[in-house]
Amino acid sequence: METKTEEKTNFGFSFGRPTSTTTSISSFTIGGSNLHKTTNAAEKKEKVPVEIPVFSGFQSNLDSQWRDIQWTAERKETLMKTVSSYRPSCKEVTQARVLLLGPVHSGKSSFISSVQSVFNGRVTNRAMVGSSISTSFTKKLQSFSIRTQKGEGDTGLVLCDIMGLGDGEMTGLTLHDILSVIKGHVPEGHKFSPDQPVGAGTAGYVKTPSLKDKIHCVAFMVDASKISFHHKGLGSTFRQLREHISDLGVHQVALLTHVEQLCQGTAKDVSQVYKSLSIKETMSKAAALLGMSTSSIVPVKNYSSELDLDVNTDVLLLSAVDHILQYANLFFQDCTPQYRMPLSL
């Protein structure tokens, strides 16, 4: 007799109290890495763990890059100066606040640490990164001001880390809480709870947030190595998020992480990333998943097991930051009152 098992997931989008939806355990959880399937006794004996293949879909590289980028130390220095000197075009704000948003283990915390590593001149782990397979290490809102080289001060960029989407029944993240962060209501260090939505009763709740408290750009994080393994609901989740975020006037970009796991050539030499057909095709898949143009998506490779910096990896990371800042500045341009000629008397 076949026994059916069910589990609860808490990515029920609502503007009030987070809702709990019941789904069959035969589907993926958002950001999860394992496929759970209802089985009978005979099937259990033959069950084999599902593993995501590395370098699946590897193809020969193109002769030329499909995006023009220079892989030199000079280009790295130019990008570092660009990021270091960036300041929002709005006088009310000194730093652009960018929210990183994506499934569990999509590389949010690793991206923050990798970017800071470039400016530190050595690989560091500023944003703590966990090793759990199914849950998010980050449980609270954490803002990291990217510091300039040699401790000269802060850049005009703040990267905000938040728990991953779909972390399971104990750590679900609702649309209400995400939008509360973007609107600037959520205090720094707030620990999210599925049964305690952000509201006026939340400790430190920012009732009337200023422009500097708000999020000025959202960067969606998508794991390139798992893009074909996400359950079907992730696409609708991303689209729902993007629609509500757009209504707030906040521009969005996307970072395609772990690209080195798609292509052996890129794994050996990051400068091959824009010659890889596998990565180019995955960019298109990410665009379809997110419902955005490929021009808004950039690939990145985070530092993970490395002990030393690599110029090509740095160029790719800094190019992603430059990409983010361009979109963040669109927000400030939209907020800046346009000069109008006085009406003739």
> Own/partner pairs for 75-78, CB < 8 Å, 24+ apart?
75/315, 76/311, 76/314, 76/315, 76/318
Domains of the chain by start residue, with CATH: 73-332 (3.40.50.300)
Q: Which amino acid is at 193?
A: S
pLDDT in tens, 231-251: 778 888 899 999 999 999 999
Judged against a pLDDT cut of 60, whether residue 92 lies above it is answered with yes
| pLDDT value at residue 59 | 52
In this prediction, residue 214 has a pLDDT band, given cuts at 50, 70 and 90, of very high
Q: Is 160 or 60 the better-scoring residue by pLDDT? A: 160
Judged against a pLDDT cut of 80, whether residue 38 lies above it is answered with no
User: How much is the mean pLDDT over the chain?
Assistant: 80
Q: Is 115 or 3 the better-scoring residue by pLDDT? A: 115
Q: How many helices (H) and strands (E) in the chain?
A: 8, 8
Q: Are strands 142-147 and 19-24 parallel, antiparallel or unpaired?
A: unpaired
Judged against a pLDDT cut of 60, whether residue 220 lies above it is answered with yes
Q: Output b/e per residue, 33-68; b: 16+ Cβ within 10 A.
A: beeeeeeeeeeeeeeeeeeeeeeeebeebeeebeee
% of the chain residues with pLDDT over 70: 74
Q: Is 83 or 21 the better-scoring residue by pLDDT? A: 83
pLDDT in tens, 160-186: 999 888 644 444 578 999 999 999 999
> Own/partner pairs for 274-279, CB < 8 Å, 24+ apart?
274/65, 274/66, 274/67, 274/69, 275/61, 275/62, 275/63, 275/64, 275/65, 275/66, 276/59, 276/61, 276/62, 277/59, 277/60, 277/61, 277/62, 278/57, 278/58, 278/59, 279/224
pLDDT in tens, 195-206: 889 999 999 999
**Rounded to two decimals, what is the model's pTM?**
0.79
Judged against a pLDDT cut of 80, whether residue 286 lies above it is answered with yes
Judged against a pLDDT cut of 70, whether residue 153 lies above it is answered with yes
